[in-house]
Structure 1
């Protein structure tokens, strides 16, 4: 048995979305999404990069919108 705490994936009803500025690479959007869903921020960052490249930059607009709205 490990000492790692198991955190269920998915947001609880009382949890709110916040940017993760202390651990931010750019504005903290990916870190905030990762904290909200209880997953690793690196996976979210890879997903955003892949989505931006495959979506011809459209996900970049979504990222900027989240950064401006959630601030």
Structure 2
């Protein structure tokens, strides 16, 4: 097997197990935000980003990057 084929096999879309990990992490963060009373009046977007979202993660050796963005404007 060539090095290129080997490297290509390491990256790519998430496996079902990795997708479950991503979904679970995102859900846990959403639950923590929902339970934090000071965030009740904030408009927040929560989403996956980074290698998982771009399908460039190294299988079995990646973390899950979750963005939490406040879309409110404060003066």
Q: TM-score range by the shorter chain?
A: under 0.3
Of structures 1 and 2, the larger Rg is shown by 2
Query: TM-score, normalized by length of structure 1?
Result: 0.27
